[in-house]
Amino acid sequence: MSTRLNRRDVVRAFPIVLMGSALGGLGRFLAGCSEEDPGGPIRGSGTTPYAPVPPTDQDEYVAPNGAPPTNAGDAPPTLPVQTWEARARQLEEEQARLYGPVFTRAAPGSMAGKENSHEPQVTKLEEGGYKKVVILVAHVMGKNGLDAGAYDAGADSGVRDASADADAARSDAGMDAAPPAVDAGSLPVHYITTMYLRAMVGGKDTVVGLWEFASTDPAPPSVKFTLPPGITEVVAYEWCTLHGLWKANPLAI
């Protein structure tokens, strides 16, 4: 067989080369359009399967909407409340075991970037002759904070039962949602389980209010505590099932 191309072969091949070149150019054009798309990846579209990502602060943030806080009680509690002390200690020990110091806006540690949705927002007021404190956390409730369509029902129902939450959450029976590594197949329900206040009472650091939320409670969660007399400063805490224990700066009363 001759290795030399004769004129007839060149004529036959020319349209094929031309078509290949044109298709290649079209492919490069389309690829160029995709690379320059400022919108970034589109989750769950095209032929690429949905790729789960850890929640971001923006995913979790729920702006305050003016809804009244849950009222933890019109009268001050009789202190100490041993179930509160035990629960707070449990959360603080779990935080130390998993992450280290309690997260704050100034020192968010491994949760940097999640300050807006996790730092407790604390305000004080007077009502009915008592000093009171409201804690609000601008955070989702009962979700995973990921793509809602991909995760809402499936992941939630597999880990915690919403109806059981309401019964169990306020029982102080114990923490049932230790933060795991983020795994699309086993994410716990993502919500704020607990808010509490610490203050010095009779020279001792004491839990002066604690509230357990259900995952079905509205977002953003908030609660109003009535303070015992004589308290001059409080520190608010909250526990997120995925992002641990956060506290606010001390608030003078």
Rule CB under 5 A: is residue 242 a binding residue for Fe ion?
Answer: yes
Q: Which is nearer to Fe ion, 208 or 240 (CB)?
A: 240
Least distance (Å) from Fe ion to the CB of residue 127? 30
8 Å CB contact between 239 and 91: yes
Rule CB under 5 A: is residue 141 a binding residue for Fe ion?
Answer: no
Binders of Fe ion in range 60-99 (CB under 5 A): 60
Q: Which is nearer to Fe ion, 220 or 228 (CB)?
A: 220
Could you tell me the sign of the dihedral formed by the alpha carbons of 207, 208, 214, 219, in that order? negative
Least distance (Å) from Fe ion to the CB of residue 60? 5
CA atoms of 85 and 101, how far apart (whole Å): 18
SS3 222: strand
Work out the end-to-end distance of the chain between its first and last CA atoms, rounded to an integer number of angstroms: 99
CA atoms of 42 and 35, how far apart (whole Å): 13
Rule CB under 5 A: is residue 243 a binding residue for Fe ion?
Answer: yes
Q: What does the block give as tokens for 61?
A: 């943030």
Q: Which of 213, 198, 244, 250 is nearest to 100 (CA)?
A: 244
**Looking at 8-16, 45-53, 203-211, 239-247, which segment touches Fe ion (CB under 5 A)?**
239-247
Q: Which is nearer to Fe ion, 24 or 101 (CB)?
A: 101
Distances (CA, A) of 151 to 23, 53, 114, 191: 40, 11, 20, 14
Q: Which of 155, 65, 57 is nearest to 112 (CA)?
A: 57
Number of residues that bind Fe ion (CB under 5 A): 4
Rule CB under 5 A: is residue 189 a binding residue for Fe ion?
Answer: no
Least distance (Å) from Fe ion to the CB of residue 156? 14
**Looking at 2-10, 29-37, 198-206, 237-245, which segment touches Fe ion (CB under 5 A)?**
237-245
- Element at 187 (helix H, strand E): none
8 Å CB contact between 133 and 225: yes
Q: Which is nearer to Fe ion, 169 or 199 (CB)?
A: 169
E-assigned strand segments in 94-180: 121-127, 130-136
Q: Which is nearer to Fe ion, 111 or 207 (CB)?
A: 111
Least distance (Å) from Fe ion to the CB of residue 243? 4
**Looking at 34-42, 69-77, 127-135, 243-251, which segment touches Fe ion (CB under 5 A)?**
243-251
Rule CB under 5 A: is residue 240 a binding residue for Fe ion?
Answer: yes
CA 164 from centre of chain: 21
Least distance (Å) from Fe ion to the CB of residue 207? 22
Rule CB under 5 A: is residue 143 a binding residue for Fe ion?
Answer: no
Interaction site with Fe ion (CB under 5 A): 60, 240, 242-243
